[in-house]
Amino acid sequence: GGATAVARAHSNIALVKYWGKRDAALNTPAVGSISVTLAALYTDTRVTFRPDLSGDEFWLDGSRSDATRVSRVLDLVRRRAATDRYAVVSSTNNFPTGAGLASSASGFAALAVAAAGASGLTLADRELSILARHGSGSAARSIFGGFAEMHAGVAADGSDAYAEQLLEPADWPLSVAVAITERGEKSINSTIGMGESATTSPFYQAWQDSAADDLAEMRAAIAARDFARLGELSEYNCLKLHALMLSTRPALIYWNAATVAAMHVVRGLRADGVPAYFTIDAGPQVKVLCLPADSAAVRGALALVPGVHEVRMSALGPGAHRLE
């Protein structure tokens, strides 16, 4: 016994975003970030360590997939647990894979929790966050529910680059609408994109230099439960990131026509007195923050945008946990 464990982790969306690495090998971020974890989108992952394997096997939604990043996380677990057994990892998303709903955050957080469990390790959330970070930077935040902050850290060994919880979901219930403007999206991978921004954009230094101010203001908005301040700052930070992406060579243009149309609809909702604010990651989908009382109005407005295929609503969700 003890060779298998199953875990569930929810996706998250950054309000102050991570883009750029301090150390690529340790996958430490160049800037801190703040996110909300989403109840509606999650990954379930089963990890089984077996004596008869000659390498790790990774299955994603039933298809054999590349195990390189998975093995990076499992190698750290093997070293800590002093085992040389390889593992079968099988992950399923509760949302369509390839719909551009960022599965790496939920996927690597679920992997960290399941792999630690299957190897018999008992790790604190901070250590699980560091483990998840090695798979994907944004995954470090999905260890926590509600609001989480990822620290860029300064240590050469990456030991202070982890996320922490700022608020539980019930401390400030918010809604997030996800407008899907493209199915089967083929975007440039974040890891590659952020590397190109760091080496080619004249705005990269300014992006790094202005991160601390955005993080401090977002922390203050969250502490004060000031939704207008949180939303305005989320849009500002998102558009600053996309200015950095657009000024990368070759340009990283993640938006399509429906992405832009949805942004204008959100601003129109505000002009009509509905507090709603957008944020967009390295893809064409638009995530809209609103108060639970306005979620039907926001959903309805987004559903009417030409090119929006579907709108998924979510509350804030819990942290990564084991399933039995």
Which positions touch ligand DP6 (CB under 6 A)?
14, 17-19, 27, 33, 104, 136-138, 190-191, 281-282
Q: Shortest Cβ distance from residue 273 to ligand DP6 (Å)?
A: 30
Q: Tokens 């243009």 — which residue? A: 253
* C-alpha–C-alpha distance, residues 100 and 239, integer Å: 19
By C-beta, is 104 or 259 nearer to ligand DP6? Answer: 104
Q: Shortest Cβ distance from residue 1 to ligand DP6 (Å)?
A: 33
Q: Shortest Cβ distance from residue 222 to ligand DP6 (Å)?
A: 16
By C-beta, is 71 or 138 nearer to ligand DP6? Answer: 138
* C-alpha–C-alpha distance, residues 77 and 72, integer Å: 9
Q: What is the dihedral of CA 178, 181, 186, 190, to 10 degrees?
A: -40
By C-beta, is 48 or 71 nearer to ligand DP6? Answer: 71
Q: Shortest Cβ distance from residue 193 to ligand DP6 (Å)?
A: 8
3-state secondary structure of 102: coil
CA dihedral sign, ordered 306, 307, 312, 317: negative
CB neighbour burial string for 119-137, b if at least 16 within 10 angstroms, e if fewer: beeebebebbbbbbbbbbb
By C-beta, is 189 or 205 nearer to ligand DP6? Answer: 189
**Pair 185, 307: CB distance under 8 Å:** no
Cβ of 257: how many Cβ atoms within 10 Å? 12
Residues 6+ apart with CB under 8 A from 107: 9, 43, 45, 60, 91, 93, 135, 136, 139
By C-beta, is 217 or 323 nearer to ligand DP6? Answer: 217
Q: Shortest Cβ distance from residue 319 to ligand DP6 (Å)?
A: 16
By C-beta, is 190 or 201 nearer to ligand DP6? Answer: 190
Q: Shortest Cβ distance from residue 279 to ligand DP6 (Å)?
A: 9
